[in-house]
A and B are shown apart, each in its own frame.
Chain A
Amino acid sequence: MVCEAWEREGKAAMTREQLAAEKVPALRKMAGKVGVVGASRMSKAELVDKLGDAMGLPAGREVDPLVAELEDTTVASLRRQALNLGVRGAARMNKAELVQILSAKSREVASAGADGGAATSGGQFASRKSDAPLGLSFGYPETYGVDRVVLLVRDPEYLYCYWDLSGDSWAWLIQQGMTNPANGWHRVLRLYDVTDGPLGTGPYHDIELNDVAREWYLAAPGQDRSYVAEFGYRSATGEWKAIARSNLVHVPRNTLSENYDVQYDRIYAEAFRIALGDGAGVGDQSYAGSRAEESMNDRLRRLVAESIGSSTFAGRPVEALKQG
């Protein structure tokens, strides 16, 4: 698109901001036309830079630090931030427009004296993307504007996690400068092992996330263990700001239990009529098993191999965990 506009109208109709708003493949194509070499190995920022130079576009204006910071951020991320802040039509805005709106919004929040906590959203159920008459169509909203992180167990090896952020949290993050990697903050998913005690007493594992991911498949650090995840930001010095905490999950054992206790019971005829009594406390938390074997049992492997199914797991960023 940029390519055609440039050819049609020349550089008068073109700014670096417009370049920055284009997709990378389009920029690469453009690079070919204007004779920038090595474009396929360049990052987007470099591409815009080199293209701008090659096309003789004027250098960017002097800007204040907040705007510079926003300009360092990817368009996708800006768009998401804008959506989170309830900016209408963000999906159709280019980077320059996004930066302008976000910086204004962010100042607004700052001057309103946001209390600085990872507050929960007031407009919890306010987000609806389309104005189509109710019941006619459903556009999956990009966000529900609620701070949340959810864990699911896929199998004994992998967990699936997704998250969402409220507009307030976004505004606060931007205001604190935490969304800019240059400030040393990292977006992190922190997985706590809560098998043996409450959150914080056991080990945890950090997974560094990129800006655009909204979900992640993560390797389970162990089997027959319980986990809770926190979504948040970690500073270079290790300071931890949690924004949302997940539900508790239990990763199943994938080996035979080493507990050989044998205890019998019956399902008594009366039990067929008994309603659920109180005090029978089995929940996710009290489900604690014994230690699992180190090596996979052969029979078990065969069992799993023989399970029927025909799907294969198509790749997605699945990151091996570092010990926290």
Chain B
Amino acid sequence: MEEDWYFEACFETYIPLLRMMEGLLSDGVPFRLTMSLTPTLLAMMRDELLQGRLRHHVAMLLELAEKEIHRTRAEPEIQALAHYYREHFRDCLAMLDRCGGDLSREFVKIRQTGCLELITCGATHGFLPLLIPHPEAVRAQVLVGAQYSAECLGEPVKGIWLPECGYYPGHERYLAEAGINFFFIEAVGVVTGDPRPLYQTLAPIKLPHFPVAAFGRDVPSSKQVWSAQEGYPGDYHYREFYRDVGFDCADEDYIRPYLGGDGSRKNLGLKYYRITGPSSEVSLGDKLPYNPQAAKQRAADHAADFLSKLSQTVNRGANLGIKPLIVAPYDAELFGHWWWEGVQWIDYLFRKMHFDQDVVKPITPTEYLLANHRIQVVQPVFSSWGYKGSAEFWLNDSNDYVYRHVHMAAERMIYLARRFEHPTPLQRRALNQCARELLLVQASDWPFILQTGTTVQYAKKRLSDHFARFTGLFEGLVHGYVDESLLGDAEWKDNIFPNIDYRIYR
């Protein structure tokens, strides 16, 4: 299942984004984009087993698209879309072949043009403000993440996307230690900072005592894109996410080879319908066929609208006597995966920015900081980009029980790291594996899934598996024996961060 999520993200988001950036570059559009490639995503992109499966998956979808062209011959509108998807999957395969299966290499290539800045994230996307009882655990999330990103991307990263934008005062210490010079922060975290920031989110702030800057999120521009009701992605011409041939196709025998091993229905990425109208009026079954040309036109319109709103903000900032900086961060998977036309929207946005106006100019955070701007020194407050800007989404009735175990695992890890000064090679392997399992139980995905209520069993299973492996190895180490088969099994299943060193928890 997790593999399916990854495949969808690749052929709906990452490959389209790469193709978009290549298109902009070949047309001489000087775009600027900052992307966090999380360590876990990098690990998946670099995993050879997954690379093979991804290629196989896309090839299979291409085959399906070809069959679909035949199956839908009686409906010209739908058949045109089958052609459209065949083209799409061909492009995806071409991209995979070009980068030898490792998409992270393509991102590195584009970074070299200076248009794309790559930043890191917490090692396993642990929500740091809820790990505070053990500073060592927070530090390891940051340091392991930054080290692994540098390893994968070939040079150190200068910025971090704090998991869920979760900042807690004092964590800048670990960012500085990891050589990270900037992070992003929710608007409320800056605005209530101390002293009161002069420009709110229109300029970054610098934290006291450390060479670390924080870029506050611009709320209106986030909202404009995020909200499915008021924002762009809900436009009736855009593609309907929930009408997928994987669910719609009535011919069981025909579709079965493309579904999971157990024949259960799942998204395959061939979606033939558009949103059409408000969900209260148009049921899923009554949707009209998707028209890529009309949708593209809407994406262009929305890009123009967004640009005009950015210009207004810039003009407002000019009254404050500064060149305002607008920070608009989004989940990468919003573009392409959830909002199919989102990638085209970014494409149009940069083209219009370059050709049609000279008020708004794109910039990366490092470019801004290197330009040696004076930055106001402000101490921001604890915040996240979740509900109410707080930790509530990850800490409530549905998931709070997890934390006592997550914290205990961290405490045990710290104990192990201090106790084993000179481990045997086998002990060292077990200690490093404990560190991996600890990082994996800290992922904010688990409390997130428990809260949203979908695929809860999966989250519970993953949590309990990682806890079991951690606890098994921990008890083995403490009682003087290490179960080698358990260790081997854990190393094989959770093989992330091959070069991790457990002493990071000292």
Interface residues, chain A, with chain B CB atoms under 8 Å away: 125, 128, 134-138, 140-141, 144, 150-156, 160, 162, 164, 215, 247, 249-250, 252-269, 271-272, 274-276, 280-284, 287, 289-290, 299-300, 303-304, 306-311, 313-316
Contact = CB atoms under 8 A, between A and B. Distances in A.
Contacts of B132: 152, 247, 249, 284
Nearest to A150: B133
Nearest to B407: A150
Contacts of A134: 468, 471-472, 475-476, 483, 486
B291 interface: no
B86 interface: no
A257 B195 contact: yes
Nearest to A285: B170
A253 B210 contact: no
Contact of A153 (B209, B382, B387, B412): B382
Q: Which residue among A152, A268, A289 has the maximum number of chain B CB atoms within 10 Å of its CB? A: A152
A155 B210 contact: no
B186 interface: yes
B210 A280 contact: yes
B475 A128 contact: yes
A274 B186 CA distance: 27
Contacts of B374: 264-266
B255 interface: no
Contacts of A267: 181-182, 206, 211-213, 369, 375
Nearest to B189: A252
B222 interface: yes
Nearest to A292: B192
Interface in B165-221: 168-170, 172-173, 176-177, 179, 181-182, 186-189, 191-196, 198, 206-213, 219
Interface stretch (B37-45, B243-251, B258-266, B398-406): B398-406
A269 B370 contact: yes
Interface string B369-398: 110111111010111011111111101111
A300 B188 contact: yes
Nearest to B193: A257
Contacts, number: 223
Nearest to A248: B132
B395 A154 contact: yes
A311 B209 contact: no
B395 A263 contact: no
B173 A283 contact: yes
A304 B389 contact: yes
B471 A128 contact: yes
B169 A309 contact: no
A270 to B, nearest CB: 9
A63 B30 CA distance: 86
B472 A253 contact: no
Interface string B59-96: 00000000000000000000000000000000000000
Given A267-B206, A272-B158, A307-B386, A140 B173 contact: no
A264 B382 CA distance: 22
A258 B196 CA distance: 7
Nearest to B404: A162
B283 interface: no
B469 interface: yes
A180 B423 CA distance: 48
B377 A276 contact: no
B373 A250 contact: no
B490 interface: yes
B359 interface: no
Contacts of A284: 132, 169-170
Contacts of B282: none
B489 interface: yes
A287 B192 contact: no
Q: Which residue among A274, A283, A304 has the maximum number of chain B CB atoms within 10 Å of its CB? A: A304
Nearest to B187: A303
Given A154-B395, A269-B372, A309-B392, 17 more contacts: A125-B474, A153-B382, A262-B195, A262-B198, A263-B195, A264-B377, A265-B374, A266-B375, A272-B370, A280-B210, A287-B379, A308-B386, A309-B388, A310-B387, A311-B392, A313-B392, A314-B396
Contacts of B390: 154-156
A259 B395 contact: no
